Amino acid sequence: MKPAERSLQARRELDRKFTKADLGPLRTRPRSGWIRTIRVALGMSQRTLADRLGVRPPSVTKLEKSEADGRITIGKLEEVARALDCTLVYALVPNSTLQETVTQQARLVAAETLGYVGVTMGLEDQTVEPDRVADQMEDEAARVIAEHRLWR
């Protein structure tokens, strides 16, 4: 299987998974962070969480602050999740489908390529008719994807 075909297959599978998942409510971390929010919802004191983690209570305060500030490590977050009887779910969630991102990037690359070609052809008095430009753009975008030239 060619790299472009593998990428397409991976995009389709991931897009299906993201489409099925209702991640909307989880996209925004609570202002005080997940650790504190869940600990409070469980009715667990910082001292109790500290005991479960094998640290002193001031360390829990630091953990909660570092998570709320976005500075906590994934490893530490996993450790805290276990202490709270939770599962850490780590994901990068695309803002649009992966296919839309690839198509948009391919069109940008195609526009750069065709823009240069268009200028060169214009200098040679060989301009392209406006109704053909869109077709050429889509053809070039398809080539960009097939040749795996999206991110160069």
Q: Which two tokens stand for residue 42?
A: 């469980």
The CATH class, in words, for 28-92 is mainly alpha
Specify whether the CB–CB gap between 31 and 68 falls below 8 A. Answer: yes
Question: What digits encode the pLDDT tens for the residues 87-118?
Answer: 999 888 898 999 999 999 999 999 898 885 55
pLDDT digits over 131-140, tens only? 677 888 899 9
Axis crossing angle, helix 130-146 with helix 98-123, rounded to the nearest 10: 130
pTM over 0.85: no
Predicted confidence band of residue 72 (pLDDT cuts 50, 70, 90): very high
Angle at 20 between CA 16 and CA 23, to 5 degrees: 115
Which regions of the chain carry the CATH code 1.10.260.40? 28-92
* Torsion of Cα atoms, 125 then 131 then 133 then 136, to 10°: -120
